[in-house]
């Protein structure tokens, strides 16, 4: 199809609330009355490489015939994350129970925005074109993506998105973070540890600003390891927060956890502590320090 050929008709029988074009004051038209979102699903492929799920766009669609990410307009009442996963399920047959969201990137225009949700496949994802919006859906090596004819906006963001195919791991020095605020924690160390754990669970679900953790994008959704010691032991794990009891010195366990997680090149490991000696040990283990104020309740 060349630039003078008529575009094939849109075969979709109905629209969802939120579908429609926005005439943006930037001078362009954008799809999605509430913005749009797409899913960049990736999996480790060995030797430090990753594969990603790409969509070969139907000819009738905007920039038809190019490759991009499955996605579309955010429906009324949806979050960008919900919209991206729903669209990927509808277009690519992706199982939403077999992925783990790690980060988001947001492109903002005067009257519209597009959010890319980056997620890792945690189960075997057999993808295929499951609606008329795609010519093909396939796993492709990320390193080969630039050789394809890409959706222009995807091509513009590819370098940053490639750098975001990572996991954020926070290792929390529980004693140091709790002790960084004089709120009476010493009278009930176990209770203070529970309060910190619950706050960290909320943080894991809501994510941290990318700028706060020194990473690209908009938000990151970490795996959190909370190390407890002494009278703070006995606190169980919750969704998003793995609690590890130090058998002796907490610093030794924290350093060991940093080493274990930093051994995977796809992990970005941060240790939340203000202890100078521990910060030095964390750096030697391949982790970066994080201010306790960013994780305390």
Question: For 200-215, how does the pLDDT look when each residue is reduced to its tens digit (9 = 90+)?
Answer: 999 999 999 999 999 9
Considering the domain architecture, whether residues 109 and 193 belong to the same structural domain is answered as no
Mean pLDDT over 184-213 rounds to 89
Among 163, 181, 199, which residue terminates a domain? 163
Confidence check: pLDDT of 3 > 50: no
Identify whether 204 is part of a domain.
yes
Confidence check: pLDDT of 2 > 60: no
Identify whether 16 is part of a domain.
no
Identify whether 6 is part of a domain.
no
Give whole-number Cα distances, 280 to 156, 171, 175, 274, in Å.
38, 14, 17, 11
Give me the CATH number covering residue 46.
3.90.79.10
Considering the domain architecture, whether residues 224 and 261 belong to the same structural domain is answered as yes
pTM for this prediction = 0.89
Mean pLDDT over 181-186 rounds to 63
CA distance 252 to 273: 13
Considering the domain architecture, whether residues 128 and 177 belong to the same structural domain is answered as no
Give whole-number Cα distances, 85 to 64, 120, 193, 249, in Å.
22, 12, 34, 42
Considering the domain architecture, whether residues 91 and 137 belong to the same structural domain is answered as yes
Mean pLDDT over 184-211 rounds to 88
Tokens for 254?
């924290």
Confidence check: pLDDT of 232 > 50: yes
Considering the domain architecture, whether residues 130 and 177 belong to the same structural domain is answered as no
Q: Which runs of consecutive H residues, i.e. helices, occur in the chain?
A: 80-92, 152-163, 174-178, 189-206, 250-262, 276-284
Among 117, 141, 163, which residue terminates a domain? 163
pLDDT band at 10; cut points 50, 70, 90? low
Domain of residue 275: give its range. 167-294
Considering the domain architecture, whether residues 177 and 284 belong to the same structural domain is answered as yes
Identify whether 27 is part of a domain.
yes
Confidence check: pLDDT of 292 > 90: yes
Considering the domain architecture, whether residues 70 and 39 belong to the same structural domain is answered as yes
Q: In whole numbers, what is the pLDDT of the chain averaged over residues?
A: 91
Considering the domain architecture, whether residues 139 and 236 belong to the same structural domain is answered as no
Give me the CATH number covering residue 245.
3.40.50
Considering the domain architecture, whether residues 95 and 38 belong to the same structural domain is answered as yes
Considering the domain architecture, whether residues 210 and 288 belong to the same structural domain is answered as yes
Mean pLDDT over 168-172 rounds to 99
Considering the domain architecture, whether residues 33 and 150 belong to the same structural domain is answered as yes
Identify whether 150 is part of a domain.
yes
């Amino acid at each position: 199809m060349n630039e003078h050929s008529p575009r094939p008709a849109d075969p979709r029988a109905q629209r969802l609330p939120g579908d429609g074009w926005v005439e943006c004051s930037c001078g362009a038209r954008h799809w999605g009355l509430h913005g749009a979102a797409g899913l960049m699903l990736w999996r480790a492929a060995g030797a430090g490489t990753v594969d990603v799920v790409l969509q070969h766009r139907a000819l009738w669609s905007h920039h038809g015939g190019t490759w991009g990410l499955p996605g579309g307009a955010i429906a009324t009442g949806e979050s960008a994350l919900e919209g991206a996963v729903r669209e990927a399920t509808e277009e690519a047959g992706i199982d939403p129970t077999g992925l783990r969201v790690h980060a988001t990137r947001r492109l903002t225009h005067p009257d519209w925005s597009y959010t890319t949700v980056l997620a890792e496949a945690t189960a075997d994802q057999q993808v295929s074109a499951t609606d008329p919006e795609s010519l093909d859906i396939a796993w492709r090596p990320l390193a080969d993506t630039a050789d394809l004819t890409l959706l222009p906006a995807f091509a513009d963001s590819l370098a940053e998105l490639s750098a975001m195919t990572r996991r954020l791991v926070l290792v929390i020095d529980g004693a140091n973070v709790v002790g960084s605020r004089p709120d009476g924690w010493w009278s009930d160390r176990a209770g203070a540890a529970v309060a910190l754990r619950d706050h960290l669970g909320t943080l894991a679900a809501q994510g941290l600003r990318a700028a706060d953790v020194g990473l690209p994008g908009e938000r990151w959704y970490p795996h959190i390891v909370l190390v407890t010691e002494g009278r703070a032991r006995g606190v169980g794990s919750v969704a998003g927060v793995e609690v590890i009891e130090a058998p002796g010195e907490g610093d030794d366990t924290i350093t060991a956890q940093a080493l274990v997680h930093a051994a995977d090149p796809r992990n970005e490991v941060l240790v939340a502590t203000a202890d100078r000696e521990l910060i030095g040990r964390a750096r030697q283990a391949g982790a970066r320090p994080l201010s306790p104020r960013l994780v305390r309740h």
